Amino acid sequence: MARREPRPARAFRRQAPAKAQYPVALIVCEGEKTEPEYLKALRKACDLNPANVKIVSADGNDPMSIVLEAIETYHSNSNEFDKVFCVFDRDGHVNYQQALDRVANSPLGRRGILAAITSVPCFEIWVLLHYQYSSAPVTASGGRSACDNVVAAIHRHLPEYEKAFGDAFEKLAPMLDTAITHADWLAVHNRDTGSDNPATKVHELVKYLRSLKRD
């Protein structure tokens, strides 16, 4: 029997998933569960290749940590991403505005590659918009934070919802178009009034992901 030649070491290396023929995006989240799990489920529902849409949780949960990690990841991956999204909340973070300024003034931001996907007071305002439209400001009250009050409003529709709710997308998917409509209305209201409480840009990311395979 002929002796088989040993295979070169590189032949045993795990092959990276092949990218599809549409833009490549990076999404950096602050949440440990709800946001990344929601977006991963959305990616699957849109039949998007994980090699084209990379979703990661940042090491830090404050807005500046997310922005800096997104920029670093972009450059450390040979600038392979067409779009980079930083998903974070205001939610009492002292460096929220600093993070927005960093996105807007960075070279990547000025080139339209880096974008902030923000929610005020928190991601849960996007969840609430699946069930109802509201432009009423959300504040802390009764010993509860503003975000706690948004979650309380969600409980009227989805009693089992809590932050770090892993099945959020599956529960909310039937109302996704309604949420987008409500978020569009809220964006118009905020533009006309100069308000940003409440506010969300999550619908912009959802619409972008939905559009990828149609471009």
CATH number at residue 81: 3.40.50
β pairing state of 25-29 and 83-89: parallel
| Residue 79 belongs to a domain | yes
Q: Is 107 exposed, middle or buried (0-12, 13-18, 19+ CB in 10 A)?
A: exposed
Residue 151: pLDDT band by 50, 70, 90 thresholds? very high
Of residues 12 and 127, more confidently modeled: 127
Domain that holds residue 37: 22-214
| Residue 14 belongs to a domain | no
| Residue 16 belongs to a domain | no
In sequence order, the β-bridge partners of residue 56 are 28
Which DSSP state fits 117? E
| Residue 68 belongs to a domain | yes
pLDDT digits (tens, 9 = 90+) for 43-87: 999 999 999 999 999 988 899 999 999 999 999 998 899 999 999
pLDDT digits (tens, 9 = 90+) for 131-141: 999 999 999 99
| Residue 12 belongs to a domain | no
Q: Which two tokens stand for residue 194?
A: 């100069």
Q: Which two tokens stand for residue 122?
A: 């928190």
pTM: 0.89
| Residue 195 belongs to a domain | yes
| Residue 4 belongs to a domain | no
| Residue 88 belongs to a domain | yes
Total domains in the fold of the chain: 1
